[in-house]
Amino acid sequence: MNQFRRFLFQISLLVGLLAASNSSLGQIKLPAVIGSNMVLQQQSNVPIWGWANKNQKIQLSASWSNESFEVKANKLGKWMITIPTPEAGGPYSLTISADKKIVLSNVMIGEVWLCSGQSNMEMPFKGFNNQPVYGSNDYIAAGNNSSIRLFNMKNAFAEFPQEDCKGAWAVSSPEGVANFSAVAYSFAKYLQDKLGVPIGVINSTWGGTRVEAWMNKETLSEFGADMTVLGTDKMKFQSPTVLYNAMINPIIPFGIKGAIWYQGESNSNQPKGYTDLFAAMIKSWRGLWNQGDFPFYYVQICPMQNYGKTEGKNTAEIREAQLQTMKYVPNTGMVSTLDIGHQWMIHPPEKITIGKRLAYWALAKDYGFKGIQYGGPVYKSMEIEENKAYLKFDNAPLGLSNMGKELNDFLIAGEDKVFYPAKALIVLRKGLVVWSDEVKNPVAVRYGWSNWVVGSLFDTAGNPASSFRTDDWEK
């Protein structure tokens, strides 16, 4: 059955290519991601591509330049032109000509970001049923903003890589904001406010999906992934490679500044190996875009009590795997959400806060804003003095803070590996001291190591530390 489906796919592809090559109409077709109202990445060489007759000459001109460009479509009718863009501004127009002409209007030059992941990134400002986004009405009411452009991709999955998708660029409006990713729009709005340039966001998300669905077949094959469901009636949107095929491949190589990502809940049952999978996905996307190690900022999954319904499940382990990714993959950054989870909902309502925390990374690392703290404290080292553990942290330039909260959710253990609730105190020049009267000779400390926790450890700007542990014990 699988081979028969592949045969039909190949036949239909061949028929389509022959029809295109034999057409005498000279029509030009553009991918959905290239259209009126789009934002092109400023001060870069951006690809513009599409389809026409085989060997047909394509001409392109842009209203910001006196230069014109020409290319010939290949034997399959595909063509691509790379054009330089100026500093941020607009609106501009693009004219693409063969026997017929396409004019793209209201095009802006600015900063372009891809957002992807599962339902916490997909969640729109209007929320889900009985699940709100705090502050949504204010953002929706202020949604008319010609400097923010939104590309909302339709959900789709496919057995093979697709060349196009369904979606269209739109100028930000109240209705558009209500139906767009709350995290991504909050991120874009904060950047637009601070940078004063047009921002374009491409939303490619689908709830309930594993990281494997967003990876291409070549990358996944290195992990021995089971792909036997592809091309069968058992293939679903969570299947390996199918979202990469339908929702990532069609927008490559559209020029972007970077990507933001929020996913991990669907992989939380199998934390071992997630770091390697996630790192491989990032590396493969970067290779396919051929833009170098573009910025990739992501959100650590939130604590939630309901995870406890699964016996033996501790989502601190997937949070640890996400934290490790930042250490191993260059030009990445993680937002901790340890302080803003919801005890009973997998979709916490503090999406605006998450969007801003992602923007802190971009402003500090990519846009030259000095003095912004981002990411939160990251455990570095531990020293034992008598019955106390002294912990030091990276990425906390002005030290630690409890932000007025009681320091909670610390555990400490001796060589017997039995953990006890611990007290903690922030000590000037010594970092964090942790102890328990039950443990005379401590060897390990854990923080936030459970499904539900409300973070109490921050940098001095209010960015929370991730849950962490100093040990690598199995339990």
On whether both 390 and 416 belong to a single domain, the answer is yes
Residues in CB range of 312: below 8 A, 6 or more apart? none
Average pLDDT over residues 397-426: 97
**What is the pTM (predicted TM-score) of this model?**
0.94
Q: Is the pLDDT of residue 12 over 80?
A: no
Residue 84 within a domain: yes
Among 8-17, 132-141, 405-414, 466-475, which is the least confidently predicted range?
Answer: 8-17
- What is the model's pLDDT at position 311? 67
Which amino acid type is present at position 283?
A: K
Nearest to 238 by CA among 75, 104, 119: 119
Average pLDDT over residues 72-81: 97
108, 131, 153: which is the final residue of a domain?
Answer: 108
Average pLDDT over residues 22-39: 82
Average pLDDT over residues 200-221: 98
Cβ-contact 318, 281 below 8 angstroms: no
On whether both 448 and 324 belong to a single domain, the answer is no
Which value, to the nearest 10 degrees, does the dihedral of the CA atoms of residues 65, 67, 68, 72 take?
-120
Residue 82 within a domain: yes
366, 391, 425: which is the final residue of a domain?
Answer: 366
Residue 239 within a domain: yes
pLDDT digit string (tens) for 274-287? 999 999 999 999 99
On whether both 233 and 331 belong to a single domain, the answer is yes
Q: Is the pLDDT of residue 25 over 50?
A: no
Residue 8 within a domain: no
pLDDT digit string (tens) for 414-440? 999 999 999 999 998 889 999 999 999
Average pLDDT over residues 365-394: 97
Residue 12 within a domain: no
- What is the model's pLDDT at position 2? 53
Q: Is the pLDDT of residue 18 over 50?
A: no
Q: Containing domain of residue 425, as a range?
A: 378-469
On whether both 306 and 438 belong to a single domain, the answer is no
Q: What is the CATH number for 464?
A: 2.60.40
Residue 200 within a domain: yes
On whether both 61 and 191 belong to a single domain, the answer is no
Q: SS in 3 state form for 284-348?
A: HHHHHHCCCCCCEEEECCCCCHHHHHCCCCCCHHHHHHHHHHHHHCCCEEEECCCCCCCCCCCCC
On whether both 59 and 126 belong to a single domain, the answer is no
Q: What is the CATH number for 46?
A: 2.60.40.10
pLDDT digit string (tens) for 131-157? 999 999 999 999 999 999 999 999 999
How confident is the prediction for the chain on average, in pLDDT? 94
Q: What H or E segment, with its residue span, contains residue 94?
A: strand 89-97
Residue 5 within a domain: no
Report the domain count for the chain: 3
Q: Is the pLDDT of residue 203 over 50?
A: yes
Average pLDDT over residues 399-424: 98
Residue given tokens 């020029």 in the structure block = 255
What percentage of residues in the chain have a pLDDT greater than 70? 93
CA distance 35 to 228: 37
Q: Is the pLDDT of residue 16 over 70?
A: no
Residues in CB range of 164: below 8 A, 6 or more apart? 31, 32, 250
Q: Is the pLDDT of residue 3 over 60?
A: no
Model confidence band, residue 475 (pLDDT cutoffs 50, 70, 90) = confident
Q: Is the pLDDT of residue 26 over 90?
A: no
On whether both 225 and 332 belong to a single domain, the answer is yes
337, 366, 395: which is the final residue of a domain?
Answer: 366
On whether both 416 and 353 belong to a single domain, the answer is no
Task: Give pairs for 225-232: CB < 8 Å, separation 24+.
Answer: 228/2, 230/2, 230/159, 231/1, 231/2, 231/5, 231/6, 231/159, 232/1, 232/2, 232/5
Which amino acid type is present at position 349?
A: P
On whether both 400 and 458 belong to a single domain, the answer is yes
- What is the model's pLDDT at position 474? 87
pLDDT digit string (tens) for 78-112? 999 999 999 999 999 999 999 899 999 999 999 99
